[in-house]
């Protein structure tokens, strides 16, 4: 009986160790993925803002005397389209992202099934 208890706790600790290690790896991957998203969002915001600002100033200066309203509307349309595309692309990345800790959860479910199967076999 004592040996069985020792084996049970030994196996339980081994399973907990594997689950914790898998959880840690998945957490690290999730952090790296989100940092990548954050980096590209930042780059998009910085460069889009700079290009938009400088292009707007240039076009409004060029067309100030003749077509200032049309130039402003064209800039507005272009920036709205760009913002819409960026929002669509970001939403696609977020919707199709893998759920956090899916491998850890699958491993825990598999362990639970194994323990339930072993428990039913002992009864």
Residues of the chain above pLDDT 90, percent: 9
| Least confident segment among 78-82, 92-96, 98-102, 110-114 | 98-102
pLDDT computed for residue 27 by the predictor: 83
Say how many Å lie between the first and final Cα of the chain, rounded. 16
pLDDT in tens, 12-40: 777 777 777 888 888 888 888 888 889 98
Is the per-residue pLDDT at 123 higher than 90? no
For 38, counting Cβ atoms within 10 Å of its Cβ (0-12 exposed, 13-18 middle, 19+ buried), the class is: exposed
Answer for the pair 30, 98: CB distance below 8 angstroms, yes or no.
no
Is the per-residue pLDDT at 85 higher than 90? yes
pLDDT computed for residue 51 by the predictor: 83
Q: Residue 55 has what DSSP assignment?
A: H
C-alpha span between 41 and 8 (Å, rounded): 49
53-88 exposure pattern, b = at least 16 Cβ within 10 A, e = fewer: eeebeebeeeeeeeeeeebeeeeeeeeeeeeeeeee
Answer for the pair 27, 54: CB distance below 8 angstroms, yes or no.
no
Could you tell me the pTM of the whole model? 0.48
pLDDT computed for residue 100 by the predictor: 66
pLDDT in tens, 53-80: 888 888 889 888 998 888 889 888 988 9
Answer for the pair 101, 26: CB distance below 8 angstroms, yes or no.
yes
Q: Is 123 helix (H, G, I), strand (E, B) or coil?
A: coil
pLDDT computed for residue 118 by the predictor: 67
């Amino acid at each position: 009986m004592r040996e069985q208890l020792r084996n049970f706790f030994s196996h339980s600790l081994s399973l907990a160790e594997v689950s914790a290690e898998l959880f840690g790896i998945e957490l690290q991957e999730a952090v790296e993925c989100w940092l990548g998203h954050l980096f590209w969002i930042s780059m998009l915001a910085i460069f889009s803002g700079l290009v938009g600002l400088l292009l707007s100033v240039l076009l409004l200066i060029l067309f100030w005397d003749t077509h200032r309203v049309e130039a402003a509307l064209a800039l507005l349309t272009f920036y709205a389209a760009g913002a819409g595309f960026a929002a669509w692309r970001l939403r696609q990345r977020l919707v199709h992202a893998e759920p956090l800790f899916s491998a850890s959860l699958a491993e825990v479910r598999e362990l639970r099934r194994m323990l339930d199967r072993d428990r039913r076999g002992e009864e």
